[in-house]
Amino acid sequence: MVSLNVIATLRTCYTDKFGVPRQSGLVPSAWGIVEFEPAYRRVEAVRGIEAFSHLWLITRFHLVAEEPTSLTVRPPRLGGNERRGVFATRSPFRPNRLTLSVVKLDRVEWDGDLAPRLFVSGVDLVDGSPILDIKPYVRFADAISESVSGFADEAPPQVPVHWSAESAVPDEVRIIIDQTLALQPQPAYHDDTHREYATEIAGWRVKWNATTTGAHVKSCVFVG
């Protein structure tokens, strides 16, 4: 039996798992804050981390409650219609539900009751994700120029995002919404252009339709 300690919790702009980017870095404006558990909330634990631009976060898909019943999954990149082995994908429906994400380290907060805290961006995780470990991204070892990535060799295509209604959403939140919806978070097999989708991003409830001309925001309301 392997026992793992949660060292921190990741607070992010995504309070709803629907709409979360399928890979890190695809939404550069998506922010997160690493808040350490009391036992690890010590300056010496992160001393020197500010010298690195990016970090690896090892976390757990804590909102995936069900046990996987199969060792094959249907990757969204393949339209949700083809099966691949779970270990040949990054699906959350996997044994142990572990995930690995690269995030940009924007700054370290050294003072305050919750310090040290790490402010990061480019996250692809839902708010409240438990962090099991943090490691610095090392360019010479982690960036393999000759690597091949199978069916996910290129970033997913993006579509235009249109706002059909005026909204008081702040510019910094609108950027996150635009970057998120441009990635077409709805299931690939849905083709009903009148179907309405909804999710919560940075405290705003956003509803949109996906059409042949892009994502159309119908409403965006602050919910706190």
Q: How far is CA 146 from CA 5, 88, 94, 123, 153, in A?
A: 35, 19, 28, 25, 12
For residues 25-47, average pLDDT: 98
Give 96's DSSP letter. Answer: G
Q: Which residue has the tokens 């996250």?
A: 123
Residue 18: the pLDDT is: 93
pLDDT tens digits for range 97-150 = 999 999 999 999 999 999 999 999 999 999 999 999 999 999 999 999 999 999
Residue 153: the pLDDT is: 86
- Asked if the peptide bond before residue 130 counts as cis, ω within 30 degrees of 0, the response is no
Residue 21: the pLDDT is: 96
pLDDT tens digits for range 140-183 = 999 999 999 998 888 889 999 999 877 789 999 999 999 999 99
User: What pTM value is reported for the model?
Assistant: 0.93
Distance CA 196, CA 85 (A): 32
**213 SS3 class:** coil
pLDDT tens digits for range 53-101 = 999 999 999 988 777 778 998 888 787 778 999 999 988 888 889 999 9
Question: Per-residue DSSP letters for 144-202?
Answer: -TT---GGG-SPPP---EEE-S-----HHHHHHHHHHHTT--S-TT---TT-EEEEEET
Residue 42: the pLDDT is: 97
Distance CA 221, CA 200 (A): 9
